[in-house]
Amino acid sequence: MPASAPRSRQAPAAVLRFGRVAAMGTVSVLILIAGVWASWGTAQHVMLTKGRERGTVEVARCGGGACSGPYRPVSAGSQARSRVVLADTVAVAEGRTYAVVVKPGGVEAVPSGVAGILYAWVPLGGALLLASVVVAGGLRRTGAAWVLAGSGVALLTAAFATV
């Protein structure tokens, strides 16, 4: 009988440990999936440019969280527009010209090139930072947490430096 006593006390601890790892692992994966999902809405237009309208926009005015200006096409099949809209970020200024990709079926445009790609993936950078906290605290995997945090910081720093 005494030999089974320690075993019976270890079983609930093992179940709780498994539950913690399963729950925190699920939370970490969901955070990363949400980061990719949030980034992909913009990133797909910047990264997969084949068949998309590419050109330049000279920002004429900014206000209400958006900047707009005339669009001049660069790619074949693209049409000139009197007005396209860019998100008003710290990198967009009135009077400057930006290379953009126009989202299909509308007047919305996103910055193109390396700066546009990095800017599109900023939500993933934030998700990597958040997931690193969950991995370190919930899963107690500090090495993996440092890798996630370093990747997030590198992505956000690169986006800040290029934009």
| Residue among 153, 133, 151, 152 at smallest CA distance from 142 | 133
Question: 81 φ, ψ to 5°?
Answer: -130, 145
Assign 115 a pLDDT band (cuts: 50, 70, 90). Answer: confident
Q: SS3 for 112?
A: coil
pLDDT at 11: 80
Residue 133, pLDDT above cutoff 60:
yes
pLDDT at 13: 83
